[in-house]
A and B are shown apart, each in its own frame.
Chain A
Amino acid sequence: MKLFSEIYSIYYRIAEEILKRKKVTKNEIRDIIQEKGFLETVLFLEPKITGSERYSLFCEEDGIYSSVLKKSPDRPLTLLEKKWLCAVLNDRRSALFLDKEVREELSEVLGVTPMFLQSDFYSFDKFADGDPYEDEKYISHFRNICTAVKNKCLIKISFQSAKGNRITHYFLPLKIEYSAKNDKFRVHVTSYKNKKPFESGIINISSVTLTEITDIYPEIPENLSRKCREPIVVRVSKERNAINRFMMEFAELERTSVFDEETGICTVSLWYNKYDETEIVIRLLSFGPVIEVVSPSCVRRQMRQRVLKQKEILEQSEITV
């Protein structure tokens, strides 16, 4: 059972796509390769389909390439795929997608031992208050939101805000976000005013108390990104393996980095979502003095405020640090 196998390769996928069409022109072949292939695939794969030393799977007549196969190409699930599916069906979050009876039926159809068990792994820094994936109401709201995202339709959502207020509104759900750290699903939404996109926001699915799908298909908002205009620029020193740790920890964000060999300092620019600014500040604090936030001033100011507040506490006589 191999993970790195040509069965799953992009070249096989392209060949299958072309074979499915039965008869294709050279231009169509090139278009398929360019759409599905790597940047340079056309250089290597096209001659193997249209050239004189082509695979025996294709024959050519008057510039039309046809498949030699009798049927439309297809293959069964591999053992790897079956074992992976069985493994994910054992995960408690799979209840969000398939009912228990369906999961049991599918496991039986697949008929293999799972590739792994959740008990093989331990996420030691996952937060302890993850979402209630087995809760029927939670599952129902999750599925309704999922359907609305797929169909791009408005959905009525009631939820409890962070301040404890109950809010009910019609929203267009854009994407469902999952955080492995928080073990939570959140939905990114847009509200509307006078049929125009008005405000964007994020709702914790665990705080949702009601969902009702509508058959209203609103205008899709254009620029949804809440990305910062200016990146956080951080100087990271070599001390305590900080460069390695920092680059690994912030690998999820888009970054640029420059290493100064003379000083041993790596200057990293991090592009982040404005919603996450406080969380990023906290994560930066965890590195202590081996990093320094250079800019933007609003983020440096937050670091400074927390440090000065700590200094103030230190200076009070009864405190022992």
Chain B
Amino acid sequence: MSAYTELIRNFDKVKDYVREFYIFGFKTRDSYAVKSKRTYDNEKRRIESWLSGYIHSENTGHKKMVSVKVDSSEISGNPLYRCWKSKSYTDNDITLHFLLMDILDTENGMTVSEITDRILKDYDIMFDIQIVRIKLKEYCDEGLLTACKSGKNILFMKSGKSTGEIIDKYEGIKELISFYSEEIPFGVVGSFLSDKVNHVNNIFKRKHAYMVHTLDDEILLSVINAINEKHQVVLSCIGTKSRNIYNISAVLLKVHFSVQTGRNYVVIYNLDTNRLNSVRIDSIKSIKKVGTSKKYDTYYEYYKTNKKYLWGTSFGDLRKYGQTEHIHFEVQIDEKSEYFVVQRLIREGRSGTVTKIKDGRYAFDIDLFDANEASPWIKTFIGRIVQFTTDNQELQKRFNDDIQALCDIYGG
């Protein structure tokens, strides 16, 4: 059995724990389906170390609950980014990293043999030439080095100016990096840059920030690549309730972000069912590219045509695919002091239309594939709704029942 270390090789292994600690925070060791209690204990210990200062433990009976407690409006940077900075490496990796950056410059290229010899001569460290070659290839892929042919030789050199030189040259770039570091997606890259130049954000803070999305950035990068390259893919997903793994053959069309519910999706053309669908990004475990989709543009046009009937991401019940459901509701307001309610309808109503019926009374109308999706938003107008009708009978009944149930809870 290998000894415990603070660093990890595979990010996937730990991200579900971080998510559970951060989102729920009430689960105990027994709630996790893991190979062994030691696995749970090791992951917990790592996360406690990475996120120290944000971790809280509480005992419930004999069981311990671990949670990550953060108020996103009170912090200067997303603490979950620290998890991305925990990749393990070997002694050779770190030694070669600093030596290559020390030896190479941007103008005079060196061959792998010259580099290996220089390491021995100047630093008195002997490396197998193969190890040096592998590292050079890796750093070319990462963009730290470039390789060019000179006769029969391949010369390696640094790929450009240092990070510090570029950042110091442009006034305002540090603030730009500070701001975008907390943006989704891929804000963590900005955090890498800030680390590199020892810059700390002390200007910006966030409201309505879903920091947990950073955990899905690796998958999201594959999603974006598949979209841009118009690939057909096989998505391997995990059921959010059942936890079963299932595969979908699909073409990925657009990432749909929610800035209010904390859930992100990718809209797909499902090749198994020949319909548009959406998949939660945090449910995707892997993406396997199958090849380029010849019909990508057709699917994308089909999505674009139908987008106006989406409230969020649902294309509705399988049996009623392609059919829309109408919602009509009316609100009453004091025209002088409560006009902000009408502004809310316009600002938040997406593809819906707002019509003035008479002074103090306004109607909102919309056609959607899935009227259920708009229901939470409509409930935010409780206290002002004078009429609510929909041709989704189930929703009509549930809406009426919900109002009654709320009266039972708060009305007594």
Whether, in the assembled complex, B163 has its beta carbon less than 8 Å from a beta carbon of chain A, the answer is yes
Interface contact B163-A74, CB-CB below 8 Å:
yes
Is B290 part of the binding interface, using a Cβ–Cβ cutoff of 8 Å? no
In the complex, the answer to whether A39 meets B52 with C-beta atoms within 8 Å is yes
State whether the Cβ of A30 lies closer than 8 Å to any Cβ in chain B: no
B interface majority secondary structure: mixed
Residue of A nearest to B402 (CB): A288
- Interface residues on chain A, size class: 35 or more
A98 and B173 contact, CB distance less than 8 A: yes
A15 proximity list for chain B (CB < 8 A): 94, 98
B380–A76 CB distance below 8 A: no
A121 & B255 in contact (Cβ 8 Å cutoff): yes
User: CB within 8 A of A10: which of B82, B158, B162, B313?
Assistant: B82
Given A69-B98, A70-B102, A124-B350: A248 and B162 interface contact (C-beta under 8 Å): no
Q: State the interface size on chain B (CB cutoff 8 A).
A: 138
Q: Determine if A71 and B210 form an interchain contact, defined as CB atoms under 8 angstroms apart.
A: no
Q: Does A300 contact B (CB under 8 A)?
A: yes
> Does A225 sit within 8 A of B, measured CB to CB?
yes
Among A80, A88, A122, A124, which residue has its beta carbon within 8 angstroms of that of B176?
A: A88
Q: Which residues of B contact A150 (CB under 8 A)?
A: 175, 202-203
Task: Tell me the chain B residues, 342-374 only, with Cβ under 8 Å from chain A.
Answer: 346-348, 350
Query: Is the C-beta of A125 less than 8 angstroms from some C-beta in chain B?
Result: yes
> Which residues of B sit under 8 angstroms from A79, Cβ to Cβ?
141-143
B85: chain A residues at CB < 8 Å are 8-10, 13
A289 proximal to B (CB < 8 A): yes
Binds A, one of B109-117, B147-155, B178-186, B243-251: B178-186
Contact of A248 among B160, B190, B261, B348 (CB under 8 A): B261
Indicate whether B17 reaches chain A with its CB closer than 8 angstroms. Answer: no
B234 at interface by CB-CB < 8 Å: no
Query: Which residues of chain B have C-beta atoms less than 8 A from A252's C-beta?
Result: 71-73, 206-211, 262
- Residues of chain A with a CB closer than 8 A to B23's CB: 247-248, 251
Q: Is the CB of A180 within 8 A of B259?
A: yes
Query: Nearest B residue to A291 by beta-carbon distance?
Result: B409
Query: Roughly how many angstroms separate A159 CA and B241 CA in the complex, as a whole number?
Result: 49
Give the distance in Å from the alpha carbon of A123 to the alpha carbon of B350 in the complex. 11
CA distance A304 to B411 in the complex (A): 6
Q: Does A23 contact B (CB under 8 A)?
A: no
- Which residues of B, 381-412, contact A by the 8 Å Cβ criterion? 382-389, 399-400, 402-403, 405-411
Is there an interface contact between A175 and B163, defined as CB atoms closer than 8 Å?
A: no
Q: In chain A between 1 and 59, which residues have their CB closer than 8 angstroms to a CB of chain B?
A: 1-13, 15-16, 19, 38-41, 43-44, 48, 55-57
A75 surroundings in chain B (CB, below 8 A): 101, 144, 158, 162-163, 196
CA distance A88 to B177 in the complex (A): 9
List chain B residues, Cβ under 8 A from A181.
207-208, 259-260
Contact of A321 among B89, B212, B388, B410 (CB under 8 A): B388
Given contact pairs A97-B172, A176-B203, A7 touches B240 in the complex (Cβ within 8 A) = no
Could you list which residues of chain B lie within 8 angstroms of chain A, going by C-beta atoms? 5-7, 11, 22-27, 45, 48-50, 52, 56, 58, 60, 67, 69-74, 82, 84-89, 91, 93-95, 97-99, 101-102, 106, 122-123, 125, 141-144, 158-164, 166, 170, 172-173, 175-176, 179-180, 182-186, 188-190, 192-193, 195-196, 202-212, 217-218, 221, 224, 227-228, 240-241, 254-263, 310-313, 332, 346-348, 350, 375-377, 379-380, 382-389, 399-400, 402-403, 405-411
The 8 closest A-B pairs by CB, nearest first: A79-B143, A289-B405, A306-B383, A39-B52, A97-B176, A84-B189, A6-B89, A286-B376
Given A6-B93, A241-B241, 7 new contacts (CB under 8 A): A39-B52, A73-B102, A78-B143, A97-B172, A97-B179, A178-B179, A252-B73
16 A-B pairs with C-beta separation under 8 A: A6-B87, A7-B144, A15-B98, A44-B5, A74-B162, A75-B144, A75-B162, A120-B255, A123-B259, A249-B261, A252-B210, A258-B26, A283-B380, A285-B379, A289-B405, A320-B389
